[in-house]
Structure 1
Amino acid sequence: MELLRFRRFHETDLAVYAAWFADEELARRAPFPDTDWLAEATAGEGVVAEIASLDAEGTPVAVIRYEEEGDGGMTLFIAVDPAQRGKGVARRVLDAFAERAADRFSHIDVFVARDNEAGLALVRACGFRLIDGPDDDGFVPYRLGLTD
């Protein structure tokens, strides 16, 4: 099995990540990574973006962006390279990320669009639990507890 690696998102990753947005599904579900997105994600002020890769070159297969919450947890967003869909990459990345995050955070919250069947299946398979009904924008909140 290929080694999964994480590293901080760098401005040189922006073109690769932005190219994923040619995919209509990703484009409608995620904020486009423009210069403001990059500045916020690389400033080191509570919002962090990371790349997950499966090769020694660090080729992105997923982008994870999270924001620290005031209650010891984080809110997480994950985007997978459209060419990697259906290969188990999202599950592998999310499981590995949660394992790493347990050293620092008490929980991970995600907000999945209620019509995103793949996203809902992913978070359920990774052990996230429903914490409320959909909000006014149609996002369903799930939480994964990281501490015993």
Structure 2
Amino acid sequence: MFDLVFVTLDAEECSRYRDWFHDPELARRINYPDSDWFDYISTSPHVHTWMIYAEVGPVGVIQFEKNNRQASFSIAVNRRLRGQGYGKRIMRAFLTLPEVRAVSCVHAGVELDNLQSMRCLQAAGFTLQSTIPDEHGFLEFVYHFNRAQADADQAEAEQEQS
């Protein structure tokens, strides 16, 4: 199996990514990558954005944002390749990147009707934090690199709720 290659999103890659937004499903879930967005991801030292390639060409894009020891990300899978396991492959490779491993946990928000993303995250080892959506209508999933920290975070969350 061809290894995935993560390429920093430059102007050429961004143009290719913009073409994906003819897909109404993607356009509904992720904001269009306009010039302000590109400037932001290109100049912010805490943001990494990659176009991911496989043997079939570009398979996905990930935007990763660090905030101290935590991070969040968004992922888009090429429309013509959805349902073929590329999301899971991307997530597994993403979690091995040095930039990602430098944080203690990674958060992802998923809309209630995005079952495919939920399955993808759970297959990669993410844990659903609550079945109640946040104020934006998203379910929160978290991946902890350090299980002891995960247990401590869970205990703290349970104390806050009681």
Same fold (TM over 0.5): yes
**Equivalent-residue separation in structure 1 for 2:102 and 2:118 (angstroms):** 25
What corresponds to 1:147 in structure 2?
146
Partner of 2:155: none
Give the RMSD, CA atoms, in angstroms: 1.6
Q: Aligned runs of 1:27-66 on 2, under 5 Å?
A: 27-55=27-55, 59-66=57-64
Residue 13 of structure 2 aligns to a residue in which SS? helix
Helix, strand or coil: the match of 2:44?
A: coil
Residue number among 50, 60, 66 corresponding to 1:68 in the alignment: 66
Aligned residues: 145
The range that moved more, 16-25 or 46-55, is: 46-55
Checking the alignment, whether the CA contact within 8 Å between 2:8 and 2:50 is kept in structure 1 is yes
Counterpart code for 2:144: G
Give the structure 2 partner of residue 78 of structure 1: 75
Q: Tell me the equivalent position of 2:95.
A: 98
Offset from partner CA, 1:16-60 (integer Å, 9 cap, x none): 1011111111010001011011111111331221111114xx942
Q: Conserved in 1, the CA contact under 8 Å of 2:95 and 2:101?
A: no
Letter in 1 for 2:139: V
Does residue 135 of the first structure (1) align with residue 134 of the second (2)? yes
SS, match of residue 21 in structure 1: helix
Runs (4+) of structure 1 exceeding 3 A deviation are none
**Higher-Rg member (1/2):** 2
Q: Quick one: distance in 2 between partners of 1:78 and 1:31?
A: 12
Distance 1:60 1:8 in 2: 12
2-structure distance, mates of 1:107, 1:42: 23
Q: Which runs of 5+ in 2 are unaligned?
A: 148-162
